[in-house]
Structure 1
Amino acid sequence: MVKKKEFIIFFLLFLLALFFVYIYNNITKAKDDIFDRIENHQIEQISSILKNIEKDILDSAEIKSSKDLFSLFNDENMRESYERIISLMLTSNVKYAYILYKDEKDRFRFLLDASKTDKAEFYQKFDVTLSEYEAIYREKKPQIIKQHDIENLYLTYLYPIISNGHVVGLFSIDITTNIQKIILESIKPLETFFVVLIIFILLLMAMTIMQIFHYFVTRKKIFTDTLTKTFNRNYLEEISSMLNLEHYSLAMLDLDKFKAINDTYGHKAGDYVLAQASRIFKDSIRDSDILIRYGGEEFLLLIHNRNDSESNIDICERLRHNVSKEHFYYDTNEIKVHVSIGLHKHPSLEKNIQEAIKIADGMLYIAKKNGRNRVIAYDELEHAKTSSSASSKDISYVKEALDDERVLCYFQPIYNHKSGEIFKYEALVRIVSKNNTVISPMQFLPQLKHTNMHYKLTQRILLIVFEKFRNNQKLVSININFSDLMNPDIEEMIIKNLKNNHHLASRITFEILESDEIDDVELFKQKINLLHSLKTKVSIDDFGSGYSNFKTIIDVEANFLKIDGSLIKNIDKNNKDFRVVKSIIHFARQSNMQTIAEFVHSKEVYEKLLLLDIDYMQGFYISAPEASLVEREELFKTAF
């Protein structure tokens, strides 16, 4: 967020500048007020004298017109007499005093000049360009001409000589004074001081503005991802403490099969897809929403909960749809891009934003596991749960269950329809709550993704299965993630229990999620080869939901392909799914792998799979998972 210190400094400097401007303005006003008072006093004195002289002139010669006035002063004796009278006005403050009039051609001429120096001759032409000289004839009242030399406060006072309602002539008095100059010289240093001070403060303000501008420019670089032009993790850290989650929903976005794009078309193509997809993201959200590149191809979206008709689900679906319909072309290759989204509708209910992100990330994990290119919302999962324990369980809940030994396995049979026998069982994790309610994995596994608690849970499941099947002849499958295989503790546990017990190892199948993102294919092959060396079997789980790298699957020599339930569940209604499953079965047989169909939930699906001659089936139509091993006679209870 914006640095507060710079803004506070700028604000204080701004107030200080206003204060000094206010003082400077008041000093200037005070100076002008003093000058005005002095001027008005002088003009009042001079005006009073001129009024008396005017009366004397008009009365003594019975002046009726400007010609009469000219005739009066054409008399040298009369002119000298009035010059002596008017010259009494001349002081150090009044330099020039004369009488003017207009001749027949409207030219101003001197009738009398009482000045001590630089005297004008009688009837000498007086060149004038100032409008006040004409205005006095129109307005018939005194005019003041302020000169530009303000330091000497030089002004000219024009006083009309009026007879019979007409201006017949005018007095022109030039006034100057040293008082104004003394005042000005006294105030000048103070004015200069404040001017310098104001300039200094303005410079400081400019420097502060430059710092703020530099901060915003730097901030943009620090908080913006260079490739996608969205915010980055630095920005999330910056705003986390100030973010009110009550105003937002939180979504995690991830481009599906992005690694496959990099591997197939190169990293430049991957960068192009990221840049284009982020552009679509930004075009699909509102100005009040916040988009952050969280890492790699994963984005965090904070959806502002505004009071409008558009819900957070609507925004996520629009975003997903806009990405899916877009055509991405790179070097003449069209790249199809989809996005999976995990949404937490009410992140404010969590302890902090990181906890909310974990839950949204868990929803994203489920979206990918369920076939990708979809939106999974936290609230929707809540409503879908049939367990009496309806809330999602966090890491501490699972830890407590492990400590209390309330983690157990349910077992669902995998059926061989050709022999009518149970081929093997799949071990499925469950937690028993303190009130003896069974908690499904959907409520706690997403929160454990990539955490140490997930690995501890996997170790407990392995231990339970190894103990249960150590001394019987039945076969069992165990789900395991690629990240589990990378964990040294889990690897050590598998080797310890199976290396010298081929009887147990030969009856165990490790089901590896095909939908898991496998960053290092060679390392993945090494880990699968390790399982083969222990005499266990390997099954590719959820085949068809992920990238389906056929070459990799052939290279690891998997024993089974378990076809993803999203392809099986509608096979009786969707002819496209039927053809896809048929192709997978053909591919598996050509690669010496047996096939297993999960999610066989109805008689119609079961009979469709019989037509395809799949090897094995698994689902609630055949049998639900149970705490104990179901026997052959207990199968197909729901079918009757």
Structure 2
Amino acid sequence: MLKLRNFLKGFILSFLFIFTLILLSLTYYFSEDLKNDLRQMVIINDFKASIENVKLLTLRNYSSLETNQDLQIDLKNRLNDLENNYKDLLEEIDKENLEKINTILQIGNDKGIKSFNKNIIETNQLITNIKGYLNSLIEIFMNEILDNPNLSKKAEISALKIISDIVLFLYGNKELDELEFKKNISVLKRELYVLKRKNGDRRSINYLQSFIQKAKMINQNKSLVLLRDRMNILVYDNSIMYELEKLNKTLEAKYSLKNLMFTSLVSITVLFYILTILSIYFTYLGVRRKAKELTKIKNELEHIVEKDELTELGNRIAFIKEKNQLRNPTLILLNIDNFKQVNESYGIEIGDFLLKSLANTIKDFLSKEGLDGKVYRLGADDFGILLEDYKDKIEEITEKLIKYVENKAFKYGDLYIPISVSAGIALDRPLFEKADMALRYVRESRLKYAVYSDEMNIHDKIINKINTIKTIKRALQKDGLFLVYQPIKNLKTEEIEKYEVLVRLEDEKGRILYPGEFLDIAKEARLYGEITKKVLEKTFKTLDEYDVELSVNLSVEDIVDENIRFLIRKYIKDPFISERLTFEILENSAIENYKENFKEFINEMKSYGVKIAIDDFGSGYSNFAHILNLKPDFIKVDGSLIKEIDIKEENRLISETIVSFCHQLGIKTVAEFVWNKEVYKVVKEIGFDYGQGFYISKPIMELPVEKKKKEAV
């Protein structure tokens, strides 16, 4: 829907923009057309005004035209202007509008000029040619007379021919009145006759001068006649003015109509222009509003990306961004000790409460101490305190911080939850990596805090961990995991009745790795479940091949793993396997979080005949209520109580209590870590049902039985 709305907005805006451009183009075209019409009307009016001026001057001075040379010159100039205006008409006005005017100008009259409409340049050229021709002939004639005063008959004929050529040239023009020509011819003949009779006399020069004057008079009369005829057309013929007026009215009507259309078009163009501007403006407002929304969303996303949702502290992204802005940074990486157990014991809700409370406690500490630092949540229960220029006081600050946090009473409802913390410190870059390695060193060394140094050999430990992970993966792929079996002895019969399955790992160099070397690393690398599957598959295979009882360890994580539960169900449907199988489950605080799953699993296993043992009982998280609730088949007392049971009276008393309590419930007891004869004697005296340890037997590679699988009864 949003895409359709945006498409429609874009389409409407494009349409308005394009249509406005079209209207602007049409407006420009009409404006140019109106300018052209207006220019034609101006030229016509100028032409009419020129005609009126000539007419007015002619009417006022017509009687003196022949004698007034200045008036003739003035009229010629005005006629020239008139003809120039007509040339403008020819260039500007459409040819069809001038057809009638051209017709009138071409007709003239019998005595009028032949082609007034051609242009004044032709007329002037004609007059100039006539003048030149006359002057040339006269000069020739004069030279002939002067050179030979006693002309012969031949000379007379030649002179007469010259004069005749002049007359015929003028007459042939047919622009003079015939009577005028005849009169002039007669005058020439008489003068010629007198000239011939007097050819030896000096007076011939005077006659010659008289001839020149007469010739000039002819030329002048011709020009005057031309001028008069040109004026007569304008003065006495109103056709031109009528046609010009008619043409002017036509142009005015067209101009009015076009002007109306132009005005309407301008109004529409302005309207669409305004609509386009408004559309662009509102689109701009929409884009601006959308940009603000996107900026707001961007800021919110940055807040989400750079903030820890639970504690509202900066996360690792914010830490990486802000640590690079400091010149001399130091980092305290604070971690809650055994937070996983706290989470498992009290639940995730209380765990989240602790994390938020600790975040506020750290900020309160910085404020109280006047320290300009920033706090980040850098892991599940890891908090980073970024400081600048505190290298000399960083250990003192860390000690105060740990004390401040551990003295804080974290209260959730009526429940008080004490916590302990550890810290790793980095004085230079890379901050997080060094602080994290220092924190690992703290955990291994059971310290409260440590400043990273190269002497910690943490780097080597990390490399070792990486190599161990590679070894685990290789062992899983190439069957590098194998089982060993530690005998469990019946202390009453002194017989080996069953074996505990233990896992070993062989690396590519043939070195054997024990569970303590790789199981915790496997959990961190999320490979623990794969190891459990391999151990179970090999255990079920052994039970299928040998008539022997086996005990195998399961963690709470294994029990809640649906894939592992599916694998177990697949095999325990066979009674011959299930009745010889015992699952040893480590009792710890995680049971509380999965109490229902745990109880359901135990009941299901018992329904198939599988036995249940609680492992490491008495190791720190032991609960007699669980024994009553779960009703296991065996209780395995932890080696921490057994190994010194012969020398520590309290260990003996605790063990006796456990044995007595279990026997009253019908639960068998197993003593672990029976490592010498003295311990063996004490556990027998106390009444343990079974014993397990190096004194009885170390784990063995091969089972000492060769019996094949028996038929299930």
Q: Which has the higher helix share?
A: 2
Q: Which has the higher strand share?
A: 1
Larger radius of gyration: 2
